[in-house]
Structure 1
Amino acid sequence: MENTRLSGILKQFNYYKEVGDKTMAQLSFEDINYQPNADSNSISIIVKHMVGNMLSRWTNFLTEDGEKEWRQRDQEFEASYTSLDELLIDWQKGWTCLFDAISPLKESDLNKIIYIRNEGHTVAEAIFRQLGHYSYHIGQMVYIGKLRKGDKWTSLSIPRGSSKAYNSDKFKKSKGKRHFTDDL
Protein backbone atom coordinates (compact mmCIF):
# COMPACT_ATOMS: atom_id res chain seq x y z
CA MET A 1 0.00 0.00 0.00
CA GLU A 2 1.30 3.45 -0.89
CA ASN A 3 2.31 5.69 1.98
CA THR A 4 0.18 8.71 1.17
CA ARG A 5 1.90 10.93 3.73
CA LEU A 6 5.37 10.37 2.24
CA SER A 7 3.94 10.48 -1.27
CA GLY A 8 2.39 13.88 -0.47
CA ILE A 9 5.67 15.13 0.99
CA LEU A 10 7.56 14.10 -2.15
CA LYS A 11 4.94 15.80 -4.33
CA GLN A 12 5.36 19.03 -2.36
CA PHE A 13 9.15 18.97 -2.69
CA ASN A 14 8.80 18.19 -6.41
CA TYR A 15 6.38 21.08 -6.78
CA TYR A 16 8.78 23.57 -5.22
CA LYS A 17 11.68 22.23 -7.27
CA GLU A 18 9.57 22.70 -10.39
CA VAL A 19 8.71 26.28 -9.39
CA GLY A 20 12.44 26.96 -9.02
CA ASP A 21 13.15 25.26 -12.35
CA LYS A 22 10.46 27.27 -14.15
CA THR A 23 11.68 30.50 -12.56
CA MET A 24 15.27 30.00 -13.68
CA ALA A 25 14.15 28.87 -17.14
CA GLN A 26 12.71 32.35 -17.72
CA LEU A 27 15.90 34.15 -16.75
CA SER A 28 19.33 34.88 -18.15
CA PHE A 29 22.45 34.13 -16.12
CA GLU A 30 22.73 37.89 -15.60
CA ASP A 31 19.20 37.94 -14.15
CA ILE A 32 20.03 34.98 -11.90
CA ASN A 33 23.01 36.92 -10.51
CA TYR A 34 21.09 40.17 -9.99
CA GLN A 35 21.25 41.64 -6.47
CA PRO A 36 19.15 44.73 -5.71
CA ASN A 37 21.74 45.76 -3.10
CA ALA A 38 24.78 44.38 -1.30
CA ASP A 39 22.70 42.94 1.55
CA SER A 40 20.32 41.07 -0.75
CA ASN A 41 20.82 37.60 -2.16
CA SER A 42 20.70 36.88 -5.86
CA ILE A 43 18.97 33.75 -7.14
CA SER A 44 22.46 32.36 -7.69
CA ILE A 45 23.32 32.82 -4.02
CA ILE A 46 19.97 31.41 -2.91
CA VAL A 47 20.61 28.31 -5.03
CA LYS A 48 24.12 27.94 -3.60
CA HIS A 49 22.74 28.20 -0.05
CA MET A 50 19.92 25.73 -0.74
CA VAL A 51 22.32 23.23 -2.27
CA GLY A 52 24.69 23.52 0.69
CA ASN A 53 21.78 23.04 3.05
CA MET A 54 20.38 20.06 1.11
CA LEU A 55 23.71 18.26 0.94
CA SER A 56 24.30 18.83 4.65
CA ARG A 57 20.79 17.95 5.81
CA TRP A 58 20.10 14.93 3.61
CA THR A 59 23.48 13.16 3.41
CA ASN A 60 23.22 10.21 5.84
CA PHE A 61 20.45 12.12 7.58
CA LEU A 62 19.22 9.15 9.62
CA THR A 63 22.66 8.50 11.16
CA GLU A 64 24.57 11.83 11.17
CA ASP A 65 23.80 15.33 12.40
CA GLY A 66 22.21 17.43 9.66
CA GLU A 67 24.78 20.19 10.08
CA LYS A 68 27.89 18.53 8.68
CA GLU A 69 31.38 19.59 9.76
CA TRP A 70 32.37 19.96 6.09
CA ARG A 71 29.62 22.47 5.35
CA GLN A 72 30.84 26.05 4.81
CA ARG A 73 27.55 27.90 5.31
CA ASP A 74 29.01 31.41 5.27
CA GLN A 75 30.60 30.73 1.87
CA GLU A 76 27.16 29.83 0.51
CA PHE A 77 26.39 33.55 0.55
CA GLU A 78 29.30 34.48 -1.73
CA ALA A 79 28.62 34.51 -5.46
CA SER A 80 30.81 31.96 -7.21
CA TYR A 81 28.94 30.32 -10.09
CA THR A 82 30.62 31.09 -13.39
CA SER A 83 27.92 29.66 -15.65
CA LEU A 84 24.27 28.70 -15.69
CA ASP A 85 25.24 25.08 -16.38
CA GLU A 86 27.40 24.97 -13.25
CA LEU A 87 24.54 26.39 -11.16
CA LEU A 88 21.97 23.96 -12.61
CA ILE A 89 24.25 20.96 -12.04
CA ASP A 90 24.55 21.94 -8.37
CA TRP A 91 20.78 22.60 -8.13
CA GLN A 92 20.08 19.11 -9.43
CA LYS A 93 22.72 17.59 -7.13
CA GLY A 94 21.01 19.08 -4.07
CA TRP A 95 17.55 17.88 -5.08
CA THR A 96 18.87 14.42 -5.97
CA CYS A 97 20.37 14.16 -2.48
CA LEU A 98 17.02 15.13 -0.95
CA PHE A 99 14.93 12.75 -3.05
CA ASP A 100 17.39 9.87 -2.57
CA ALA A 101 17.10 10.35 1.21
CA ILE A 102 13.32 10.68 1.45
CA SER A 103 12.11 8.28 -1.25
CA PRO A 104 13.05 5.04 0.55
CA LEU A 105 11.50 6.10 3.89
CA LYS A 106 8.69 4.09 5.45
CA GLU A 107 5.91 5.32 7.68
CA SER A 108 7.75 3.86 10.68
CA ASP A 109 10.75 6.10 9.95
CA LEU A 110 8.78 9.32 10.48
CA ASN A 111 8.95 9.13 14.29
CA LYS A 112 12.67 8.33 14.48
CA ILE A 113 14.78 11.01 16.14
CA ILE A 114 17.48 12.72 14.10
CA TYR A 115 19.61 15.75 14.92
CA ILE A 116 20.29 19.12 13.37
CA ARG A 117 22.97 21.03 15.31
CA ASN A 118 22.43 18.60 18.21
CA GLU A 119 18.71 19.46 18.39
CA GLY A 120 16.51 16.38 18.18
CA HIS A 121 13.73 16.28 15.62
CA THR A 122 11.49 13.49 14.48
CA VAL A 123 12.14 12.68 10.84
CA ALA A 124 8.73 14.19 10.08
CA GLU A 125 9.63 17.43 11.90
CA ALA A 126 12.96 17.64 10.04
CA ILE A 127 11.21 17.10 6.71
CA PHE A 128 8.64 19.81 7.44
CA ARG A 129 11.39 22.15 8.66
CA GLN A 130 13.20 21.79 5.33
CA LEU A 131 10.02 21.97 3.26
CA GLY A 132 9.31 25.35 4.86
CA HIS A 133 12.91 26.50 4.42
CA TYR A 134 13.06 25.60 0.73
CA SER A 135 9.64 27.03 -0.12
CA TYR A 136 10.69 30.29 1.58
CA HIS A 137 13.77 30.59 -0.61
CA ILE A 138 12.01 29.53 -3.78
CA GLY A 139 9.45 32.27 -3.12
CA GLN A 140 12.36 34.70 -2.98
CA MET A 141 13.62 33.35 -6.30
CA VAL A 142 10.20 33.85 -7.91
CA TYR A 143 9.98 37.40 -6.59
CA ILE A 144 13.39 38.29 -8.00
CA GLY A 145 12.44 36.65 -11.28
CA LYS A 146 9.25 38.68 -11.50
CA LEU A 147 11.18 41.87 -10.76
CA ARG A 148 13.68 41.11 -13.51
CA LYS A 149 11.18 40.05 -16.18
CA GLY A 150 8.43 42.58 -15.48
CA ASP A 151 5.56 42.18 -17.94
CA LYS A 152 7.48 39.43 -19.77
CA TRP A 153 7.13 37.13 -16.73
CA THR A 154 5.09 33.97 -17.33
CA SER A 155 2.98 33.25 -14.26
CA LEU A 156 3.75 30.03 -12.39
CA SER A 157 0.35 29.93 -10.71
CA ILE A 158 -3.10 31.22 -11.55
CA PRO A 159 -2.50 34.44 -13.52
CA ARG A 160 -4.26 37.59 -12.36
CA GLY A 161 -7.78 37.80 -13.70
CA SER A 162 -7.96 34.06 -14.35
CA SER A 163 -9.26 32.75 -11.03
CA LYS A 164 -12.88 32.44 -12.16
CA ALA A 165 -11.99 30.40 -15.24
CA TYR A 166 -9.50 28.28 -13.27
CA ASN A 167 -12.05 27.51 -10.56
CA SER A 168 -14.75 26.79 -13.12
CA ASP A 169 -12.50 24.20 -14.74
CA LYS A 170 -11.74 22.60 -11.35
CA PHE A 171 -15.41 22.41 -10.34
CA LYS A 172 -16.34 20.75 -13.66
CA LYS A 173 -14.45 17.69 -12.44
CA SER A 174 -16.07 15.27 -10.06
CA LYS A 175 -14.92 15.26 -6.47
CA GLY A 176 -11.99 12.97 -5.95
CA LYS A 177 -8.70 12.46 -4.14
CA ARG A 178 -6.11 14.42 -6.11
CA HIS A 179 -3.05 16.49 -5.42
CA PHE A 180 -3.06 20.06 -6.67
CA THR A 181 0.13 19.36 -8.63
CA ASP A 182 -1.38 16.52 -10.66
CA ASP A 183 -2.41 18.90 -13.46
CA LEU A 184 0.87 20.81 -13.64
Structure 2
Amino acid sequence: MALELTTSYLADSLELFRYYKKLAERAMEQVADEHLFTALDVEANSIAIVVKHMAGNMRSRWSDFLTTDGEKPSRNRDTEFENPPMTRAALVQVWEEGWAQVFQALEPLSDEDLSRTVTIRGEAHSVMQAINRQIAHYSYHVGQIVLLAKHLGCDRWNALTVPRNRSAEFNQRVAAGEASQR
Protein backbone atom coordinates (compact mmCIF):
# COMPACT_ATOMS: atom_id res chain seq x y z
CA MET A 1 0.00 0.00 0.00
CA ALA A 2 1.42 3.34 -0.98
CA LEU A 3 1.55 5.85 1.82
CA GLU A 4 -0.61 8.80 0.92
CA LEU A 5 0.20 12.08 2.64
CA THR A 6 -2.84 13.32 4.51
CA THR A 7 -3.62 15.63 7.37
CA SER A 8 -6.97 13.98 7.97
CA TYR A 9 -6.96 11.66 10.96
CA LEU A 10 -10.04 9.86 9.63
CA ALA A 11 -8.58 9.33 6.17
CA ASP A 12 -5.40 7.95 7.69
CA SER A 13 -7.33 5.74 10.12
CA LEU A 14 -9.43 4.30 7.30
CA GLU A 15 -6.27 3.55 5.33
CA LEU A 16 -4.75 1.83 8.36
CA PHE A 17 -7.85 -0.31 8.84
CA ARG A 18 -7.76 -1.24 5.13
CA TYR A 19 -4.06 -2.00 5.36
CA TYR A 20 -4.44 -4.36 8.32
CA LYS A 21 -7.47 -6.03 6.75
CA LYS A 22 -5.54 -6.69 3.55
CA LEU A 23 -2.43 -7.82 5.44
CA ALA A 24 -4.44 -10.49 7.26
CA GLU A 25 -6.15 -11.54 4.05
CA ARG A 26 -2.85 -11.91 2.22
CA ALA A 27 -1.57 -14.04 5.10
CA MET A 28 -4.67 -16.23 5.23
CA GLU A 29 -4.52 -16.78 1.45
CA GLN A 30 -1.18 -18.53 1.96
CA VAL A 31 -2.58 -21.09 4.40
CA ALA A 32 -4.21 -24.39 3.46
CA ASP A 33 -7.86 -24.55 4.49
CA GLU A 34 -7.24 -27.02 7.31
CA HIS A 35 -4.55 -24.77 8.80
CA LEU A 36 -7.06 -21.99 9.35
CA PHE A 37 -8.45 -24.15 12.14
CA THR A 38 -5.13 -25.29 13.65
CA ALA A 39 -4.17 -24.13 17.14
CA LEU A 40 -0.53 -24.49 18.15
CA ASP A 41 -1.44 -25.65 21.67
CA VAL A 42 -4.38 -25.77 24.07
CA GLU A 43 -3.95 -22.12 25.11
CA ALA A 44 -3.53 -20.80 21.59
CA ASN A 45 -6.21 -19.64 19.18
CA SER A 46 -6.46 -20.72 15.58
CA ILE A 47 -6.66 -18.18 12.78
CA ALA A 48 -10.38 -18.98 12.53
CA ILE A 49 -10.93 -18.21 16.21
CA VAL A 50 -9.03 -14.91 15.94
CA VAL A 51 -11.15 -13.98 12.91
CA LYS A 52 -14.37 -14.90 14.74
CA HIS A 53 -13.32 -12.81 17.76
CA MET A 54 -12.38 -9.83 15.61
CA ALA A 55 -15.68 -9.99 13.75
CA GLY A 56 -17.61 -10.17 17.03
CA ASN A 57 -15.71 -7.17 18.33
CA MET A 58 -16.35 -5.26 15.11
CA ARG A 59 -20.10 -5.94 15.23
CA SER A 60 -20.25 -4.77 18.83
CA ARG A 61 -18.00 -1.73 18.59
CA TRP A 62 -19.14 -0.29 15.28
CA SER A 63 -22.87 -0.93 15.01
CA ASP A 64 -24.68 2.22 16.15
CA PHE A 65 -21.22 3.57 16.90
CA LEU A 66 -22.16 7.12 17.84
CA THR A 67 -25.34 6.30 19.76
CA THR A 68 -24.89 3.09 21.79
CA ASP A 69 -22.22 1.60 24.00
CA GLY A 70 -19.55 -0.24 22.02
CA GLU A 71 -20.02 -3.31 24.18
CA LYS A 72 -23.47 -4.46 23.12
CA PRO A 73 -25.60 -6.45 25.60
CA SER A 74 -26.11 -9.07 22.88
CA ARG A 75 -22.37 -9.74 22.60
CA ASN A 76 -21.08 -12.89 24.27
CA ARG A 77 -17.33 -12.45 23.97
CA ASP A 78 -16.54 -15.85 25.47
CA THR A 79 -18.33 -17.68 22.66
CA GLU A 80 -16.15 -15.87 20.11
CA PHE A 81 -13.38 -18.25 21.20
CA GLU A 82 -15.42 -21.38 20.51
CA ASN A 83 -16.73 -23.14 17.41
CA PRO A 84 -15.46 -20.99 14.54
CA PRO A 85 -17.09 -21.14 11.11
CA MET A 86 -16.31 -24.55 9.60
CA THR A 87 -15.16 -23.56 6.11
CA ARG A 88 -12.92 -20.93 4.54
CA ALA A 89 -15.94 -19.47 2.74
CA ALA A 90 -17.92 -19.14 5.97
CA LEU A 91 -14.91 -17.64 7.72
CA VAL A 92 -14.42 -15.09 4.94
CA GLN A 93 -18.10 -14.16 5.17
CA VAL A 94 -17.83 -13.48 8.92
CA TRP A 95 -14.62 -11.50 8.28
CA GLU A 96 -16.20 -9.36 5.56
CA GLU A 97 -19.33 -8.70 7.61
CA GLY A 98 -17.21 -7.49 10.52
CA TRP A 99 -15.14 -5.17 8.38
CA ALA A 100 -18.28 -3.85 6.69
CA GLN A 101 -19.38 -2.63 10.14
CA VAL A 102 -16.09 -0.77 10.58
CA PHE A 103 -16.27 1.01 7.26
CA GLN A 104 -20.02 1.75 7.45
CA ALA A 105 -19.45 3.44 10.81
CA LEU A 106 -16.34 5.44 9.87
CA GLU A 107 -16.76 6.47 6.24
CA PRO A 108 -19.64 8.92 6.89
CA LEU A 109 -17.76 10.69 9.71
CA SER A 110 -15.90 13.95 9.34
CA ASP A 111 -12.91 15.22 11.29
CA GLU A 112 -15.36 17.37 13.27
CA ASP A 113 -16.81 14.15 14.73
CA LEU A 114 -13.49 13.19 16.34
CA SER A 115 -14.19 15.07 19.56
CA ARG A 116 -17.67 13.58 20.02
CA THR A 117 -18.08 11.22 22.96
CA VAL A 118 -18.87 7.52 22.64
CA THR A 119 -18.82 4.82 25.29
CA ILE A 120 -17.17 1.43 25.40
CA ARG A 121 -18.10 -0.71 28.40
CA GLY A 122 -19.61 2.38 30.01
CA GLU A 123 -16.35 4.32 29.74
CA ALA A 124 -16.33 7.62 27.84
CA HIS A 125 -14.02 7.89 24.82
CA SER A 126 -13.66 10.56 22.20
CA VAL A 127 -14.34 9.17 18.73
CA MET A 128 -10.61 9.52 18.09
CA GLN A 129 -9.77 7.49 21.21
CA ALA A 130 -12.27 4.79 20.21
CA ILE A 131 -10.71 4.58 16.74
CA ASN A 132 -7.20 4.39 18.22
CA ARG A 133 -8.33 1.64 20.58
CA GLN A 134 -9.64 -0.43 17.68
CA ILE A 135 -6.64 0.17 15.40
CA ALA A 136 -4.42 -1.12 18.21
CA HIS A 137 -6.71 -4.08 18.90
CA TYR A 138 -7.04 -5.14 15.28
CA SER A 139 -3.34 -4.72 14.48
CA TYR A 140 -2.54 -6.92 17.50
CA HIS A 141 -4.80 -9.68 16.19
CA VAL A 142 -3.64 -9.26 12.60
CA GLY A 143 -0.11 -9.83 13.90
CA GLN A 144 -1.32 -13.09 15.43
CA ILE A 145 -2.91 -14.13 12.14
CA VAL A 146 0.28 -13.33 10.23
CA LEU A 147 2.46 -15.22 12.72
CA LEU A 148 0.20 -18.28 12.58
CA ALA A 149 -0.08 -18.16 8.80
CA LYS A 150 3.68 -17.83 8.40
CA HIS A 151 4.27 -20.73 10.79
CA LEU A 152 1.61 -22.99 9.28
CA GLY A 153 2.26 -22.09 5.66
CA CYS A 154 6.04 -21.78 5.88
CA ASP A 155 6.67 -24.17 2.99
CA ARG A 156 5.02 -21.75 0.57
CA TRP A 157 5.28 -18.43 2.41
CA ASN A 158 5.66 -15.21 0.42
CA ALA A 159 6.70 -12.16 2.45
CA LEU A 160 3.93 -9.64 3.09
CA THR A 161 6.26 -6.72 3.65
CA VAL A 162 10.04 -6.44 3.27
CA PRO A 163 11.40 -9.92 2.47
CA ARG A 164 14.11 -11.25 4.75
CA ASN A 165 17.63 -10.20 3.67
CA ARG A 166 16.23 -7.90 0.98
CA SER A 167 15.98 -4.55 2.81
CA ALA A 168 18.50 -2.78 0.56
CA GLU A 169 16.63 -3.87 -2.58
CA PHE A 170 13.31 -2.83 -1.02
CA ASN A 171 14.70 0.58 -0.01
CA GLN A 172 15.90 1.15 -3.58
CA ARG A 173 12.43 0.32 -4.89
CA VAL A 174 10.87 2.75 -2.38
CA ALA A 175 13.29 5.47 -3.46
CA ALA A 176 12.33 4.81 -7.09
CA GLY A 177 8.64 4.99 -6.17
CA GLU A 178 8.02 1.32 -6.96
CA ALA A 179 7.17 0.07 -3.44
CA SER A 180 5.27 1.24 -0.44
CA GLN A 181 6.81 2.30 2.83
CA ARG A 182 3.79 1.16 4.82
Do both proteins adopt the same fold according to a TM-score greater than 0.5, normalized to the shorter chain?
yes
Question: Is structure 2 residue 72 aligned with structure 1 residue 57?
Answer: no
Q: Report the Cα offset of residue 72 of structure 1.
A: 1.0
Which structure 2 residues correspond to residues 157-172 of structure 1 after superposition, within 5 A? 157-172=161-176
CA distance in 1, matches of 2:156, 2:88: 20
Does the residue aligned with 2:153 lie in a helix, a strand or coil?
helix
Separation in structure 2 between the aligned mates of residue 21 and residue 3 of structure 1, nearest angstrom = 27
After superposition, what is the alpha-carbon deviation per residue over 1:101-140, rounded to whole angstroms, capped at 9, x for unaligned? 0001011100001000000000000000000000000000
Q: CA RMSD in A?
A: 1.4
Rounded Cα–Cα distance in structure 1 between residues aligned with 2:174 and 2:181: 10
| Corresponding position: 1:104 with 2:69 | no
1:170, distance to aligned residue in structure 2 (A): 1.8
Q: Is residue 36 of structure 2 the alignment partner of residue 12 of structure 1?
A: no
In 1: Cα distance, 2:55 partner to 2:81 partner: 11
Aligned length: 175
Identity of aligned residues (%): 41
1:73 deviates by 0.4
2 CA distance for matches of 1:32 and 1:64? 33
Structure-2 residue corresponding to 1:92: 96
With normalisation by structure 1, the TM-score equals 0.91
The TM-score with structure 2 as length reference comes to: 0.92
Report the counterpart of residue 77 of structure 1 in structure 2: 81
Q: Partner letter of residue 84 of structure 2?
A: S
Which residue is 1:68 aligned to? 72
Cα distance in 1 for residues equivalent to 2:41 and 2:144: 14
CA distance in 2, matches of 1:73, 1:107: 31
| Separation in 2, partners of 1:24, 1:56 | 24
Q: Which runs of 5+ in 2 are unaligned?
A: 1-5
What are the Cα deviations for residues 82-102 of structure 1, in whole angstroms up to 9, with x where unaligned? Answer: 111111001000000100100
Equivalent residue for 2:130? 126
Q: 1:22: which partner in 2? A: 26
Checking the alignment, whether the CA contact within 8 Å between 1:3 and 1:106 is kept in structure 2 is no
CA distance in 2, matches of 1:155, 1:172: 20
Separation of aligned partners in 1, 2:126 and 2:55: 22
